[in-house]
Amino acid sequence: MIKKVAILANGGDVSGFNAVIRAIVKTAEKNNVECYGIIEGYRGLVNNEYIKLDTANTASGILPKGGSIIGSSTNSNVFHYKVEENGKVEYKDLSDKCVQNIKENGFDCIFTLGGDGTQKSARDLSLKGINVIGVPKTIDNDVACTDITFGYNTAVSVATEALDRLHTTGETHHRIMVLEVMGRYAGWIALESAIAGGADIALIPEIPYNIESAVEKIKHRISQGKRFSVVVVAEGAMPKGGEISVEGTRDNGKGVDNTKLGGAGASVAKELENLTGLEARSTTLGYMQRGGTPTAFDRVLSTKYGAKAMELAIEGKFGVLAVLKNGVLDSVSLEEVVGDNKIVGAVSGNTKESNIRKVTMEHDLVKTARNIGICLGD
Ligand code: F6P
């Protein structure tokens, strides 16, 4: 019988965090379970910082709110936690401290709202005897074993609106309009928004591109009297035989992927301008994709995930991730989600060791894009 639970939101924020929190709290209250929110993800677990969540006060009116009412942390792998002492930076395994805090607070279960890195750490904590239940979050839509993550639909909607706007300005000035979208090493946002926004070309990490094929598509459009084109470029897209575009390094500590992607859109725009003779402009959509109110779809998905996660806790089903399998709510073991990345405390996040879900060539989105003539750069 669970009596007291805590929610932890971790990693880059998405629209829908608060909707999940609200659904967990509401379902908890209905079952006489007390609910707490850990402040700023795994960082709050280390520092033992949390607040009481209830629908009367702290978790009231939050459904449409962007961000996370309990914060989130992008730099907190508790197995490699950054500690600064006397001006010296060290990385320590503070997982035992987290276990101790959870036990002393009497939390019967921790809900980990996050992407693959967060769920990797959750699995590692579950191996230390903690009851955890994951909820799949990320705009990138790349968490293994689930059809969709919360936050993704909102990101696609924002990108689609941007494409609509780029269309009209591109058409007016006879330009190639390039939109760089997020997604890290997966092309879901780029592909789906390209279909929704009527783009002519979509370049995704899963299909290293040949710029000539994009040039051909644009020239074909010119031959039809269409003197503008709209191109979506995933931040992780790369040319055939070339490298991913890296803008720099982020300081998210050890044990996470610190690559800061960026520049893919600008470099595609430059090449297309040189090779077609049309003017090209590049826009990077950036954090617009993560902020603000969730779409109706994401509000419902987040609510379903939150309620399901609490239901799993009541059933005593721990060490799992709440998922959507062929459109139906379900759960899978965190072991399956973590996949090949089995080493406790090992690098988590989007690295080659991690088990992320990428776009496959058999996916309906790829087939649909090809059927309607979107050039995928191959
Ligand atoms: O994983 C979500 C995401 O928004 C990616 O799409 C993007 O590459 C990355 O996070 C940006 O991370 P940061 O918040 O560290 O700049």
**Is the pLDDT score of 357 beyond 70?**
yes
HSE-CB of 129 using CA atoms within 13 angstroms: 7
State which of 113, 118, 119, 139 you would mutate to test the pocket of ligand 1, scoring each by most atoms of that ligand within 8 A of its C-beta.
139
**Which residue type does 241 have?**
G
pTM passes above 0.75: yes
Atom of ligand 1 at shortest range from CA of 290: 4
138 CB near ligand 1 (under 6 Å): yes
Quick one: tokens of 21?
Answer: 């929190």
Distance 254 CA to ligand 1 centre (A): 16
What pLDDT, on the 0 to 100 scale, is given for residue 229? 98
| Residues involved in catalysis | 140
127-131, 226-230, 342-346: least confident range: 342-346
Question: Does 353 or 269 have the greater pLDDT score?
Answer: 269
pLDDT confidence band for 349 (50 / 70 / 90): low
pLDDT digits (tens, 9 = 90+) for 288-310: 999 999 999 999 999 999 999 99
264 CB near ligand 1 (under 6 Å): no
- The predicted model gives 323-328 an average pLDDT of 97
139 CB near ligand 1 (under 6 Å): yes
Query: Who's near 131: CB < 8 A, 6+ residues apart?
Result: 2, 108, 109, 110, 313, 318, 319
